[in-house]
């Protein structure tokens, strides 16, 4: 099994001019110590992203989209 110690993202941008749409993450097994996020942006727009968990262990948050801006 895979062991990931950092966050897993389906999409990421630091640009306030870009949109993150229709990104996805599928976890079928293994261990993720941190969060699993379909799309993350500290400044832009994230919508219609997804995370599918079919097995394994996630240490923190599971989010389809996360935007701070």
Q: Please give the torsion angle defined by the CA atoms of residues 50, 54, 59 and 61, in that order, rounded to the nearest 10 degrees.
A: 20
pLDDT digits (tens, 9 = 90+) for 4-42: 999 999 999 999 888 999 999 999 999 999 999 999 999
Q: Which residue, among 32, 15, 42, 17, has the nearest Cα to 51 in the 3D structure?
A: 32
pLDDT in the model for residue 3: 96
**For residue 52, how far is the Cα from the chain centroid?**
10
Summary count for the chain: helices (H), strands (E)? 0, 12
pLDDT digits (tens, 9 = 90+) for 54-69: 999 999 999 999 998 7
Beta-carbon count within 10 A of 62 CB: 16
């Amino acid at each position: 099994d895979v062991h990931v110690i950092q966050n897993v993202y389906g999409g990421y941008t630091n640009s306030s001019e870009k949109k993150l749409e229709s990104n996805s993450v599928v976890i079928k097994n293994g261990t993720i110590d941190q969060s699993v996020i379909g799309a993350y942006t500290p400044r832009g727009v994230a919508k219609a992203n997804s995370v599918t968990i079919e097995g394994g262990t996630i240490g923190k948050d599971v989010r389809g989209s996360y935007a701070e801006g």
